Amino acid sequence: MSARASSTRRFSFAAGHRYWVDAWSAAENERVFGRLTVPHGHNYTLEVTVHGRIDEATGMVIDLGELKRVVGETVVERFDHADLNADPLFRGRVPTTENLAVSIWDLLEPKLGADRLRRVRLWEDPTLYVDYHGG
C-alpha cells in the first residue's frame, strides 16, 4: 500500500477590482463596501494543495512542473494584471477574495481532478486569506 500526502505550491499575481453591486444605489454600495468601491489592486498569493498517493517511482504526489504549468496557464495568465470586474467569471458577482478563490477552484478542478485538488488558499495581503475546499 502506498502512502498518501498533500503537496502545496505557491503562485503570485497582481490584479485590480472594486466592490460594487449594480442593483444597489451608490449610497448603498458605499455604506456596505466603503472605500472598496474605488478601483484598487492587490498582489495576490495563491497556494494550491493537491492530495493523493505518493508515486513509488517519483516519490511525488504530483509532478510539480505539471502543477506549475496548469496553474500558470489556467489562473496566473488569466488574472495577472487583469481587471477582475471585467472578467466574465464576475458578471453579476462581486470579485471578493472569497469569490475569486471559488472561481480559481472551479477553473482548476477539471484540470487537476476533484479527487486530487484539496485546497485553494488565496492571500489578498499579509493579513487576509481565504481557504476554499470545494463545493
DSSP 28-49: HHHHHHGGGGS-EEEEEEEEEE
| Max CA separation in the chain (angstroms) | 61
**Helical residues (DSSP H) of 24-132, grouped into ranges:** 26-33, 64-71, 77-79, 97-112
pTM: 0.95
pLDDT digits (tens, 9 = 90+) for 62-104: 999 999 999 999 999 999 999 999 999 999 999 999 999 999 9
pLDDT digits (tens, 9 = 90+) for 20-69: 999 999 999 999 999 999 999 999 999 999 999 999 999 999 999 999 99
